[in-house]
Amino acid sequence: MAEIRAEPFAFPLKKGAAALVVIDMQRDFAEEGGFGASLGNDVSRVTAIVPDVKRLIAGFRAAGLPIIHTMECHRPDLSDLPPAKRDRGAPKLRIGDEGPMGRILIAGEPGTAILPELAPVAGEVVIEKPGKGAFYATPLGDILAEKGIAQLVFAGVTTEVCVQTTMREANDRGYECLLVEEATESYFPEFKAAAIAMIRAQGAIVGWTAKLDDVLEGIA
């Protein structure tokens, strides 16, 4: 068994049972005119991690390990969008509204797509999820079980919302979870720092965190 240098202690990598989960690296969170920007956020924080996410994906592809991409999005008829989610906050554009990149966070719209630099390739799983967590109302659990996956390495945005929610869901389902620090981001640096601290607190209560170079070395 290989080990990845990590916090709060080395991650016990089981290479044949590990997969990468890239959370919501979508235009709607990374580009002007999208959902993230409509909430008043500085989306340049998200675009800044694209090269590191790309290196991580390339490392998993080179190692022949599975990659799962998620997209936060809803059906065009909004039947999977509870009013409690749609009406929260005060964005300029709400989910389902027409924006400069098409309808906000609606499946199939240009703005909902994964950033072209990080686009999935043939054979990689893409999960469309209506919630913050990637297990809720999706086939993710069944797909991972079918592939014999027991460990999940996480990247994507935002650290304290969809990434952390999915890690907590995965942890409760028995997966060992590792978050790659440079490959995740928040619109709020203090929230990213707090989420990382929470995840690895109390002897990895939710999971581990590690530096990108250490993960790439571990999986090579």
216 belongs to the binding site for ligand C5J (CB under 6 A): no
161 belongs to the binding site for ligand C5J (CB under 6 A): yes
Give the amino acid at 166: T
Closest distance to ligand C5J from the beta carbon of 72 (Å): 5
Q: Is 24 a catalytic residue?
A: yes
Per-position x/- string for 52-81, each x denoting binding to ligand C5J as judged by CB under 6 A, each - no binding? --------------------x---------
Q: Is 15 a catalytic residue?
A: no
Compare residues 91 and 141 and give the one whose CB is closer to ligand C5J.
91
Closest distance to ligand C5J from the beta carbon of 218 (Å): 26
**Count of C-beta atoms within a 10 Å radius of residue 77:** 9
| Stretch of residues binding ligand C5J (CB under 6 A), selected from 48-56, 78-86, 135-143, 154-162 | 154-162
166 belongs to the binding site for ligand C5J (CB under 6 A): no
Closest distance to ligand C5J from the beta carbon of 171 (Å): 17
Active-site position among 28, 129, 192, 214: 129
Q: According to CB under 6 A, which one of 38, 112, 151, 158 is a site residue for ligand C5J?
A: 158
Active-site position among 28, 73, 132, 162: 162
- 128: CB partners within 8 A, 6+ apart: 70, 71, 73, 107, 138
| Stretch of residues binding ligand C5J (CB under 6 A), selected from 52-60, 108-116, 136-144, 153-161 | 153-161
Distance CA 41, CA 12 (A): 37
Q: Is 52 a catalytic residue?
A: no
Burial 83-97 (b: 16+ CB within 10 A, else e): eebeeeeebebbbbe
Catalytically active residues, by annotation? 24, 129, 162
Binding site for ligand C5J (CB under 6 A): 24, 29, 72, 157-158, 161-162
